Amino acid sequence: MPVKKLAKDDPYFIDNPKRVKAVQREMAKLGIDVYLGSRLRTMSWILDAFCPWRSFVVIPPTGLPTAVTFVIDAARVEDESWLDQDHVIGYGPMGGQDQIALLTMLMKPYLKGGKGVIGMETGMGNYLPEGHLTLFEFVMLKAALPKATFKNAHEIIDHLSLIKDEGTINRFREASRIVDVGHKAVYDAIKNGGYAKMTETEVGGLAAYAMRKAGSEWEWSFTGGNEIASGYRSGLAAGACTPASRRKLKTGDPLMVDLHAMFRLGLGDHSHNYFLGKATKRQQWHAKNFVDLMKQVLITYRAGVTPTKLADEMLSFAEEKGFQDYMVPGFEHGIGLMGDEWRIGLNDGPFQYWTNPEHVYRKNEMLICAVQYACPEENIGFRYENPILIKEKNCEAMSRFPLSVNVV
């Protein structure tokens, strides 16, 4: 996924040098002499390259940043990012070439007499590959730079990356188009009894193949790639994480298909739901509840809405219709370029490192509209996920696959 050749008029162009300068202006305001990024979201947002190995980026007060990644992947990161080979360094177990030695070497010139402020990224998250600076890394860097002051400064990146630029938005649109290709492939494979003898893993695999052919680089979710749930697995209590199992699809089962595609670090994420072969009246009642709710959710998102306001309205809607007991009381999670997942907005809520329920959505924010409907006692559930772009008076749902629960 090389980006070096993207022209400014390319729909997927991102002005990364402009991003770096914006970070440097914030560093100056906060009295930070050098910024040490370690989170996956920071790597993606600054480098515009996928960094699957433990990686860092050192941002000086002026000039170009330098990326530090595992030596086996440094050449590829340099090839795909906008930086030149002098600004992508590989670390390894060699004298003076380990992570701590290289980071110390890169940061020391900006710390006069060894003193100064290093902005770092630490904290907490429920997303495993978050990439906060570890305790060991901090202790070793502190020992190498004993006179320096370390200051948590991830809010700089979080704030600057909140409102999405046109290149980022277009990447999400393309990733979502690719996901729709995957959904069509699944539908074509399972319709008219085609699901017979298929397993959840097979469904996930045929979707992956179709999306790869359409240009996806990865089924990016750390939750097992494409999440597929059939039968009772679709209705696990509060269950919104279902890596595909080897369970065989059965007539009468609900089937939830949650597909993920990546295009230039933009992320497609959409779920569609089915009944296999037939559906009882009770199952159809559940399905109607779910579809009616999702229609209401999607016409409610707009600038000025908060997670609390939306949740209150939707739970009241569910209560009026008599299905409130089947709703997980959350309707979204955060999203950005690869690695930026789950928490929405800044770390300014009542619970540290969780979404502030009073966060006010602004134009050109993006999030995943994420809803889980689950009735474990009846072995039935549905999921809806879709990247949405917040607009002044409405929202844009990126996936265009029809909202329905199909009997196939």
The alpha carbon of residue 52 and the mean position of all alpha carbons in its chain are separated, in whole angstroms, by: 14
The alpha carbon of residue 202 and the mean position of all alpha carbons in its chain are separated, in whole angstroms, by: 24
Together in a domain, 156 and 170: no
CATH assignment at residue 354 = 3.90.230.10
| Domain-located, residue 5 | no
Helix (H, G, I), strand (E, B) or coil at 182: helix
Together in a domain, 72 and 201: no
CA–CA separation, 56 vs 396, rounded Å?
34
| Domain-located, residue 3 | no
Q: What is the domain range of residue 214?
A: 166-407
| Domain-located, residue 333 | yes
The alpha carbon of residue 371 and the mean position of all alpha carbons in its chain are separated, in whole angstroms, by: 16
Together in a domain, 151 and 182: no
| Domain-located, residue 8 | no
Together in a domain, 337 and 191: yes
Query: Which of 160, 178, 199 is at the close of a domain?
Result: 160
Query: Which of 126, 143, 160 is at the close of a domain?
Result: 160
| Domain-located, residue 9 | no
Together in a domain, 117 and 189: no
Question: Which pair of structure tokens corresponds to residue 198?
Answer: 């298929």
| Domain-located, residue 250 | yes
Together in a domain, 127 and 202: no
Together in a domain, 175 and 268: yes
pLDDT averaged over 10-residue windows placed end to end, the chain, 408 residues: 74 98 98 98 98 98 98 98 97 96 98 97 94 98 98 98 98 98 98 97 98 98 96 95 98 98 98 98 98 97 97 96 93 96 93 96 98 97 98 98 98
Q: Bridge partners of 209?
A: none
CATH assignment at residue 138 = 3.40.350.10
Phi, psi of 290 (to 5 degrees): -65, -50
Query: Which of 145, 160, 175 is at the close of a domain?
Result: 160
- For residue 2, the model assigns a pLDDT of 53
| Domain-located, residue 369 | yes
Closest CA to 130 of 121, 117, 143, 142: 121
Together in a domain, 190 and 135: no
Together in a domain, 67 and 190: no
- For residue 329, the model assigns a pLDDT of 87
CA–CA separation, 230 vs 25, rounded Å?
50
Together in a domain, 350 and 273: yes
Closest CA to 242 of 287, 201, 195, 297: 201
Number of domains making up the chain:
2
Name the residue with tokens 């397993």.
Answer: 199
Together in a domain, 201 and 63: no
- Tell me how far CA of residue 246 lies from CA of 210, 221, 230, in angstroms: 20, 19, 10
Together in a domain, 365 and 272: yes
- Whole-model pTM? 0.97
- For residue 6, the model assigns a pLDDT of 83
| Domain-located, residue 182 | yes
